[in-house]
Structure 1
């Protein structure tokens, strides 16, 4: 199986636009942020490209790797968004602030679409994160199921210091991973979270030297592909539902999932 870096070099891209490249190698897809000159700063066009990448995933894909070119995973929102001019062809954030509630809500929901598909039940997503992952970059890493980080990683949620809130779906996974009190402290102070703390608090699954990130991600992807797909899908759905279910409801969900697996393995109903 090709490494994420080899994917980008050897495979024709399914999508390559607005700082996002999607390549597919059988059961593994790789989404790469491709603007290292700007530390992979994000924009509405990039968010739309991320959403399009999710729509273009073939049904054969089981694992999606998210990675970024350059020394930084993503420095967050491109500061051009805060200028009166904004981005070419886009309403500026100032324009949006003067729009109706419905228009503003629709715009933010559209931005969020690039962050929502990574936790689909039929795939497992892995973020390979190096250097800075700030604001929208932090939230994009949080959008994935798993995170492999380089030992130089620096997570930070800077929205509050700008007078904003994290609104790109990052608050739910952050609280789920580290708990309310630590999540509040991270967001309200905007401080950096380094690799050791990221692993110890559950933000990251593993931290390795930067030159070992790709190999580690490849090994993790291989391990994920070793289990039967339907068993992984059912297990992921069970775990995702824990926070919204009472203990007895979770027990019932386990029984129902296992019944489906047993019948499938026995060929019942075929």
Structure 2
């Protein structure tokens, strides 16, 4: 995937994560292509920090990755007895108390949770392998645009683990219970064609067109008034948990707010 044409000074650049901001669009880039953007707790903390320092002017966040792979998943060094220097090993985590272990996993998840904020629309631009934690990071975003060489896979179960980086809820919502279960317990690859046909991705394009497709999508989102996008996102996100009549009521309330705002009568 080609680098963006504009060279912007980073707001954050650490531990394999770079954040740049161009007015209403922020770009979060995974920057360790030599390791296929393998993920570590330090990367997760940097991703969480990117969400915290995001300027209020940002309406669209693009998540992309340098190199041929979006992310190959967990850094395999985490599976060794030595682990990653300065980080707890899996054995250390397993030996901690229930509360400590829960808090550790919650801290890991923090880098995956802010992408669905109500005031943002997030787009993952995914090429090559997106495995395990990489798949879950793509799932953390509202939308996914993929290169035609993409290969999604959820490999945690084959390692004796479960997907715990917030990926299971959006996966079920996108492809349904049965397909989500099958993808997770088999660890098989999901191609670009299947991703689009099942709703996992919005569109698949040749790799050299990935940046352009994402820019076009971001521009289309920015063309609509921000408050209308925020209200619409809230309606769509909440629809699954509401009854038909409750959703109708939510639509009426949201439209009333928009009409009063457009008429200059909002609070």
Q: TM-score, normalised by structure 2?
A: 0.98
2:50 equivalent to 1:53:
yes
Question: Within the alignment, does 1:241 sit opposite 2:238 as a pair?
Answer: yes
| 2:173 paired residue number | 176
Q: Which residue of 2 aligns with 1:100?
A: 97
Corresponding residue of 1:38: 35
1:217 to 195, 200, 214: 214
Q: Paired residue for 1:186?
A: 183
The question of whether the paired residues in 1 share the 8 Å contact of 2:158 and 2:187 is answered with yes
The answer to whether residue 248 in structure 2 is matched with residue 251 in structure 1 is yes
Deviation at 1:205?
A: 0.3
Q: Deviations over 1:112-166 (max 9, x none)?
A: 0000000001010000000000000000000000000000000000000000000
Which of 8, 11, 14 is residue 14 of structure 1 equivalent to? 11
Q: Structure 1-normalised TM-score?
A: 0.97
Q: SS of the residue aligned with 1:200?
A: helix
Residue matched to 2:4: 5
Unaligned runs of 5+ in 2: none
2:70 is matched with 73
Residue 97 (structure 1) shift: 0.3
Tell me: CA distance 1:261–1:269, structure 2 relative to 1, closer, same or farther (3 Å): closer
Instruction: Please say if residues 3 and 66 of structure 2, whose CA atoms lie closer than 8 Å, have aligned partners that are also in contact.
Output: no
Which of structure 1's runs of 4+ aligned residues deviate more than 4 A? Answer: none
Q: How has the CA–CA distance of structure 1 residues 83 and 51 changed in structure 2, closer, same or farther, with 3 Å as cutoff? A: same
Q: 1:88: Cα distance to partner?
A: 1.2
- Aligned equivalent of 1:91: 88
Shift of 1:4: 6.4
Which deviates the most, 242-251 or 40-49?
Answer: 242-251
Name stretches of at least 5 consecutive residues in structure 1 with no aligned partner.
Answer: none
Q: How many residues align?
A: 266
CA distance in 2, matches of 1:4, 1:70: 10
